[in-house]
Amino acid sequence: MDITILSTEVDSVKRFGRAQNNQRPIIMALTTWKRKMELISNGRKLKGTGISIREDFPQEVQRIRKSLYEEMMEHRRNGRKAYIRYDKLIVEGNENNGNKKEEDEKEEIEMMEDETKGGSGSEKGKKRQKLIWNLN
């Protein structure tokens, strides 16, 4: 993966699951968002190694993402580019209007209402940047 992580960049590391002979996932909290994004973007280099990296989301966001997955796959089957960003479904499609140039359209589908997002705002800055490493 060619990335060196300094001990000062790691806030904490914790293993999940019960101790057995098999490997267990690890959650790692980093001090900066930039390093977290660098690790996630380089995670594709780990294909075929049995190791994967993904972002850790709160349970409510995980539930929303799970419910958006089928809708995302339906858009993809219809030839549109679709992906999930945090708790939103982003859909980009091509529309051909006769002789007009094809244009991208974007839709954002929010599953959470503004009141459930709430919070004081100061809490947002205090969140640690977490990743989950699956070592299979």
**Tell me: the pLDDT tens digits for 49-60?**
888 888 888 999
Q: Of 119 and 74, which is predicted with more confidence?
A: 74
Mean per-residue pLDDT, 97-109: 38
Report the Cα–Cα distance between both ends of the chain, in Å, rounded.
17
Please, what sign has the CA dihedral across residues 96, 80, 63, 120?
negative
Could you tell me the pLDDT band of residue 48, with boundaries at 50, 70 and 90? confident
Q: Of 103 and 11, which is predicted with more confidence?
A: 11
Whether residue 16 is predicted with pLDDT greater than 90 in this model: the reply is no
